[in-house]
A = this chain, B = another copy of it.
Amino acid sequence: MVQDSIRVLQAQGYKVTKPRRQVLEILEEAEESLSPYDIQRLLRQQGKHLNHVTIYRILDLFCSLNLVHRILLSGGFVKCTLSNKEGCHRFMVCYHCGATQEFVDQQLCLQESKSTQNLGFHTQYHFSESSGLCSACYKKQLQKQEEAQPQSNR
């Protein structure tokens, strides 16, 4: 919820401004990650104009507060959906529709830390993203394949 993020801003002594609300709302609605310029475009379509510098600065702030994460595979940003759950926040990204889903897995974190430790590394943070098909796009693809080769026996 946007409201939760606003409370975090207030609690940390940051002002709740119109641009910040607008960016939060846009990210809240989005299914896929959005670049700063995507956000600007979407807002413009609603008649709201923000300077791209402002959007960059807002995203920097939100990331530093963990209200938003950057997806490395796409370079875009998504609203965090897990509040402050333990462990690093991981992402699945559908390479067909772009949809993202966030999750944590403490087991994975532990195992990952162990792996890197064995190699003499003192890990601070894991970045983990999986690229694949979301269930919806997977089904669509199966259907298309069947249509392409009906009753095929190969």
A interface residues (Cβ-Cβ under 8 A, vs B): 72-73, 92, 94-95, 101, 103, 105, 107-108, 111-112, 115-116, 119-135, 138
Contacts and interface: CB of A to CB of B under 8 A. Distances in A.
29 contacts: A72-B129, A73-B127, A92-B116, A92-B123, A95-B124, A101-B121, A103-B116, A107-B111, A108-B108, A108-B111, A108-B115, A112-B128, A112-B130, A120-B134, A120-B135, A121-B132, A121-B133, A122-B132, A122-B133, A122-B134, A122-B135, A123-B130, A123-B131, A124-B131, A124-B133, A126-B128, A126-B131, A127-B129, A127-B130
B131 A119 contact: no
Given A72-B73, A130-B126, A121 B107 contact: no
A115 B132 contact: no
